[in-house]
Amino acid sequence: MAKRIGKHTAVLDKPIYIISAASTAGKKEGEGPLGKLFDNVFQDDMYGEKSWEMAESKIVKDNFSLALKKAGLEETDLCISGDLLNQDSASTFGIRDMNIPFLGIYGACSTFGEALGLGSALVDGGFAETVLAGASSHFCAAEKQYRAPLGMGNQRPQTTTWTVTGDGAVILSSRKKIGAPIITEVLTGEAVDMGVKDANNMGAAMAPAAAELMTAYFRETGREPNYFDVIATGDLGYVGKTLLIELLAAEGYYLGNNYTDCGIEIFDKDSQDTHSGGSGCACSALVFTAMFYKKLCEGKIKRMLFMPTGALMSPTTSQQGESIPSIAHGVVIESR
Amino acid sequence: MAKRIGKHTAVLDKPIYIISAASTAGKKEGEGPLGKLFDNVFQDDMYGEKSWEMAESKIVKDNFSLALKKAGLEETDLCISGDLLNQDSASTFGIRDMNIPFLGIYGACSTFGEALGLGSALVDGGFAETVLAGASSHFCAAEKQYRAPLGMGNQRPQTTTWTVTGDGAVILSSRKKIGAPIITEVLTGEAVDMGVKDANNMGAAMAPAAAELMTAYFRETGREPNYFDVIATGDLGYVGKTLLIELLAAEGYYLGNNYTDCGIEIFDKDSQDTHSGGSGCACSALVFTAMFYKKLCEGKIKRMLFMPTGALMSPTTSQQGESIPSIAHGVVIESR
């Protein structure tokens, strides 16, 4: 039985093994600092399909197949996945031929954190032995949907982040695999809305949600930030990272060199013109599967707090002038 | 520990009590055969808000508050909810002030089934003691988003269903409550795509998903349809119900008078001009919370298979001419 030790933190009863990780990334991501770490990098935004949306679905399908192959499995008991497209359609169209029972989730760019947390809770409770958990996004499909048609060539403010193109997926399992990192705790966030309305400044919208969940976690466990080798948020970018550090300091928690943000890791600030950094469901999913997962497997990271963050606006709510509720979901991952 | 007895069926270890149920319904639903059973019926589609989307969010919030009040709780450990609006925004905007850790899900009109299944699995595994599970939809917001602006006054084909306006929510708990119905088994469906492309015939798109999950359940458990007092699908309507009966008969399972569809229960076929019946996340959520829940509490239903169904298209995929993947999620509910 899992044990809830606070409003936001649950400690799992059993070690949940992350037995494989797969990453499929777009051209720009392949040209970034993590380029050589991705399993696959594709050059064509259309991925051989008729639309960006169908491209994203195919990327999901191919990357999920790769995660299964790496784990030596034909299928899992469950698949948990989500994305930024209206009605989760990258996931639902991606998995429609895979014959795996499917739970669609939506947490905007926190989706990969939600998938890992939910998947490990369900494996812990015996509901499934194996879970395929993933998240995807596509720059072109997301920009078109949330902001403006790409063909307009709108200038991007310096606070914007660049939606990452690709898919990251892992297989969670109750069966021991030597050397595989394990998920030990799950953090579930609340929707937080501080009134930010600018869809071009998601870092500012999301930082309060990350701060609230992280502060709650430290309070509920009595731990300090230096308990972890690495603390990584999802896609706050430079703007949101700075805000998070300030918000935590105001609560008496000081994030040091062990803290980074996946939106900062994935692109090169000087040469790639991505302004505040990367974002999108695939941002944290790719940085985790391509970089952190390997470091955990190699024992270079012993304890990690991984907390993807999501801005929960829709195109409709933004057009209606509404503010942006945000959320964060996290997991504690250890190597032993 | 829950036990997976087949690819789609998991048997929960502990009884999960449905300790309260709340229903808030629109005017048309209030004029239908179940009108007197709803907790609240509102007359204004705008619900006092500036848009249909914000109206739906407010309905979610008010109905969730009602479910908590009926259970005598201030909050639950978790909230699991979803809806039809892009990016689940009825749920995310509805719960943003509620201070409850939130997991957004998306299963189209199967969402209430997904919420019940996921919620009871998480309570069973000790991840939460109490879960608020709900789903909503709004006719005006859904029609505008998926089909055509209401002001156009498009004629609706006879195969269409009418998106139900409202929210249904329950509180799941591990703590025994005498007389409360219990969830004993969870059925998780796969995405099924038989190539139906008509967003005005969702019954035909969804019936194969319901048939696949129902057949799988009977095979995996060795049970027959007559094991249940009531089998209720989500929102297949008259078209989909007929198809499901045929599809199951082809597999050797005969659905009798114990089988109904929530899309048929909620509106009056003759007087309400809803053609094939009701649909939308709120369809099964309202029929369950207003009618079946009470019959389970009263012992008039002893064993029920409840299986909401969802059509996973998005406005974008429909405009791109794609087919409609569908899914079903179910739970077995018993009164003791």
Look-up: residue for tokens 């609230």? A212
Write down the pLDDT at residue B86: 95
Residue B162 near residue B279 (C-beta atoms within 8 A)? yes
Q: A87 vs B92: CB contact, 8 Å cut-off?
A: no
Q: What are the residues whose beta carbons fall under 8 Å from the beta carbon of A178, sequence distance 6 or more?
A: none
**CA nearest B83 in A: which residue?**
A87
Q: Select from A98, A188, A314 the Cβ nearest to the Cβ of B103.
A: A188
Q: A145 vs B51: CB contact, 8 Å cut-off?
A: no
| H helix or E strand, kind and range, residue A162 | strand A162-163
d(CA B202, nearest CA chain A) in Å: 15
d(CA B87, nearest CA chain A) in Å: 5
Q: Select from B77, B312, B317 the Cβ nearest to the Cβ of A4.
A: B77
Q: Does the model's ipTM exceed the 0.90 cut?
A: yes
Q: B320 vs A4: CB contact, 8 Å cut-off?
A: no
Q: A315 vs B86: CB contact, 8 Å cut-off?
A: yes
Rounded CA separation A264/A274 (Å): 10
Residues of A in Cβ contact (< 8 Å) with B51: 320
What the block records as the tokens of B310 is: 């969802």
Residues of B in Cβ contact (< 8 Å) with A125: 1-2, 121-122, 124-127
User: Per-residue confidence at A329, pLDDT binned at 50, 70, 90?
Assistant: very high
Residue B312's closest CA among A284, A86, A15, A310?
A: A86
Q: Select from A89, A114, A191 the Cβ nearest to the Cβ of B316.
A: A89
Question: What's the whole-number average pLDDT of chain A?
Answer: 97
DSSP 8-state symbol, A33: T
The SS3 call for residue A311 is: strand
Residue B302 near residue B280 (C-beta atoms within 8 A)? no
Q: A53 vs B78: CB contact, 8 Å cut-off?
A: no
Q: A316 vs B82: CB contact, 8 Å cut-off?
A: no
User: Per-residue confidence at A33, pLDDT binned at 50, 70, 90?
Assistant: very high
**CA nearest B188 in A: which residue?**
A101
User: Per-residue confidence at B199, pLDDT binned at 50, 70, 90?
Assistant: confident
**B180 pLDDT more than 90:** yes
Suggest the residue from A92, A184, A217 to mutate for an interface test with chain B (most B CBs closer than 10 A).
A92
Give the pLDDT confidence of B200-237 residue by residue, as tens digits: 999 999 999 999 999 999 999 999 999 999 999 999 99
Q: What is the 3-state secondary structure (H, E, C) of chain B?
A: CCEECCCCEEEEEEEEEEEEEEEEECHHHHCCCCHHHCCEECCCCCCCCCCHHHHHHHHHHHHHHHHHHHHCCCCCCEEEEEECCHHHHHHHHHCCCCCCCEEEECCHHHHHHHHHHHHHHHHHCCCCCEEEEEEEECHHHHHHHHCCCHHHCCCCCCCCCEECCEEEEEEEECCCCCCCCEEEEEEECCCECCCCCCCCCHHHHHHHHHHHHHHHHHHHHCCCHHHCCEEEECCCHHHHHHHHHHHHHHCCCCCCCCEEEHHHHCCCCCCCCCCCCEECHHHHHHHHHHHHHHHHHCCCCCEEEEECEEECCCHHHHHCCCCCCEEEEEEEEECC
d(CA A102, nearest CA chain B) in Å: 5
Suggest the residue from B51, B73, B87 to mutate for an interface test with chain A (most A CBs closer than 10 A).
B87
Residues of B in Cβ contact (< 8 Å) with A321: none
Look-up: residue for tokens 């996340």? B281
Write down the pLDDT at residue A283: 98
Query: pLDDT > 70: what percent of chain A?
Result: 100
DSSP string, A243-290: HHHHHHHHTT----TTEEEHHHHSS-TTTS--TT-EESHHHHHHHIII
Rounded CA separation A170/B66 (Å): 38
Residue B241 near residue B261 (C-beta atoms within 8 A)? yes
d(CA A330, nearest CA chain B) in Å: 12
**A199 pLDDT more than 90:** no
Residue B284 near residue B84 (C-beta atoms within 8 A)? no
Q: A1 vs B126: CB contact, 8 Å cut-off?
A: yes
User: Per-residue confidence at A301, pLDDT binned at 50, 70, 90?
Assistant: very high
Residues of A in Cβ contact (< 8 Å) with B308: none
Q: Select from B87, B97, B317 the Cβ nearest to the Cβ of A312.
A: B87
**B49 pLDDT more than 90:** yes
DSSP 8-state symbol, A9: E
**B336 pLDDT more than 90:** no
More confident residue, B181 or A149: B181
CA-based radius of gyration for chain B: 18
Give the pLDDT confidence of A256-299 residue by residue, as tens digits: 999 999 999 999 999 999 999 999 999 999 999 999 999 999 99
Question: What's the whole-number average pLDDT of chain B?
Answer: 97
Q: A325 vs B53: CB contact, 8 Å cut-off?
A: no
**CA nearest B114 in A: which residue?**
A103
Suggest the residue from B64, B106, B214 to mutate for an interface test with chain A (most A CBs closer than 10 A).
B106
DSSP 8-state symbol, A150: G
Residues of A in Cβ contact (< 8 Å) with B92: 191, 312, 325, 327
Give the pLDDT confidence of B287-335 residue by residue, as tens digits: 999 999 999 999 999 999 999 999 999 999 999 999 999 999 999 999 9
Residue A8 near residue A212 (C-beta atoms within 8 A)? no
Write down the pLDDT at residue B147: 87
Q: How many CB atoms lie within 10 A of CB A249?
A: 12
CA angle A242, A247, A249 (to 5 degrees): 95
Our CA dihedral for B75, B91, B107, A150, rounded to 10 degrees, sits at: -140
User: How many alpha carbons fall within 13 Å on the CB side of residue A27?
Assistant: 6
In terms of C-beta density within 10 A (0-12 exposed, 13-18 middle, 19 or more buried), how is residue A63 classed? buried
Write down the pLDDT at residue A41: 98
